[in-house]
Chain A
């Protein structure tokens, strides 16, 4: 008997997660929680029940209630998100196991059992004090990063960029005269660079920030899109590696969003060979309070596309 069917072991107190189809190979799903909307301590306890003992211990080591709550919600988001994607029957979020790859990138450890084909799910999370996000793809690696759009750096932006960014990026930032716009563009660039490195999954030392450039480029190929289509054609985002002449960076598709009016979010996904070079990123975004409410916010003001060819 398939022990993963949740009717057997799942506590009756948990309402079922709304099941979902896996994203198609060209799709990216993004789920986010706003911690300030989760105040019910009974609900937080329920989330705590989903965690492994190891995860619970990590949460307890965080300093202060806010950080503990954030850590708890992050694990609960990852577990419930992955559990939504049905294969044979609904996965129990509590029974998911995680491990880190050779370079420290978290991934699901599917158990090797008879008749169980693990879904080729990839995920990546990012969090700030006001949002926790989880991106999901099928077949291809994904990296995401979010930052509060009001985030200020302690260091001078240009000094920071000179230390860590590529020369081209420093040039672009230096050319911005308005300090507020410069700050915003810095944060956006930071999230894109983080998302790319996280997508690669080889650790930061494998791809130091200085060794690649991210820039916006007007799309030269503008396909005709019918009026009712929802493809945003902001500038395309290009990643160029300064070290590798064969330029593996061409294999990555990036998106830059403003989410919930409060955060910049960058998503970086490896291009699926079948989907093709210029296919837009099909993106669906949900705001969630797991077990309570899921709201699809794609195409609303909660998701503004700032860069990349995205179809919502």
Chain B
């Protein structure tokens, strides 16, 4: 859809902006919740993005979708960034399948050590963002 491609374009422009200008701030990315009020990104919220480098809501949504599908969770069950995979009923085979699904969706490759450190949905989304960025760099 036209609108979502426009959104993606804006996201990648912003991440390029980060690479060029924000290198010193990268070490501070420990915020768990994304501070954007909605899916859209508006120029005015750029300042808030500077200090909050957690995964974009779009990424988080995709991750939630893959998790929901793998674990066959009902559509109305709430999955948030804080949801722990084990609390959702994922066993080790589920987790590996989810990682595989994420690799395919985002075109990345996850090392087993990193996969092991994924506890929450947010962890997965953050890892994906990192890997996508590394790949683009």
Stretch of B42-50, B94-102, B122-130 contacting A (4+ beta carbons < 8 Å): B94-102
Tell whether A209 pairs with B112 under 8 Å between CB atoms, given A154-B69, A160-B100. Answer: yes
Contacts of B112 in A (CB 8 A): 204-205, 208-209
Contacts of B103 in A (CB 8 A): 163
Please pick, from B84, B100, B113, B115, the residue contacting A155 in the complex, using a CB distance under 8 A. B100
Please pick, from A67, A163, A190, A205, the residue contacting B93 in the complex, using a CB distance under 8 A. A190
The verdict on A194 contacting chain B, using a C-beta distance below 8 Å, is yes
The verdict on B16 contacting chain A, using a C-beta distance below 8 Å, is no
The verdict on A115 contacting chain B, using a C-beta distance below 8 Å, is no
Main secondary structure of the interface of B (DSSP, over half): helix
The verdict on A203 contacting chain B, using a C-beta distance below 8 Å, is yes
Contacts of B89 in A (CB 8 A): 62-64, 66-67, 129
In the complex, what residue of chain A is closest to B94 when comparing beta carbons? A154
Most chain B CB neighbours (cut-off 10 Å) among A63, A164, A190: A63
Contacts of A128 in B (CB 8 A): 91
In the complex, what residue of chain A is closest to B73 when comparing beta carbons? A63
* Shortest CB distance B131–A (Å): 15
Contacts of A127 in B (CB 8 A): 91
Contacts of B70 in A (CB 8 A): 154
The verdict on B136 contacting chain A, using a C-beta distance below 8 Å, is no
* Shortest CB distance B3–A (Å): 30
Is A63's CB under 8 angstroms from B116's CB? Answer: no
**What's the Cα separation between A209 and B111 when bound, in Å?**
11
**What's the Cα separation between A203 and B112 when bound, in Å?**
10
Contacts of B96 in A (CB 8 A): 160, 164
Is A155's CB under 8 angstroms from B88's CB? Answer: no
Is B91's CB under 8 angstroms from A155's CB? Answer: no
The verdict on A147 contacting chain B, using a C-beta distance below 8 Å, is yes
The verdict on B77 contacting chain A, using a C-beta distance below 8 Å, is yes
**What's the Cα separation between A205 and B112 when bound, in Å?**
6
In the complex, what residue of chain B is closest to A160 when comparing beta carbons? B100
Is B116's CB under 8 angstroms from A155's CB? Answer: no
The verdict on B92 contacting chain A, using a C-beta distance below 8 Å, is yes
Contact with B along A68-83 (1 / 0, CB 8 A): 0000000000000000
The verdict on B137 contacting chain A, using a C-beta distance below 8 Å, is no
Contacts of B87 in A (CB 8 A): 61-63, 67
B residues contacting A by CB (< 8 A) are 69-70, 77, 83-84, 86-89, 91-93, 96-97, 100-101, 103, 111-113, 115-116
In order of increasing CB-CB distance, the 8 nearest A-B pairs are A205-B113, A208-B112, A204-B116, A67-B89, A62-B87, A61-B87, A205-B116, A154-B97
A62-B86, A63-B83, A160-B96 known; 6 new pairs, CB 8 Å cut-off, are A67-B89, A128-B91, A154-B97, A163-B100, A194-B92, A204-B115
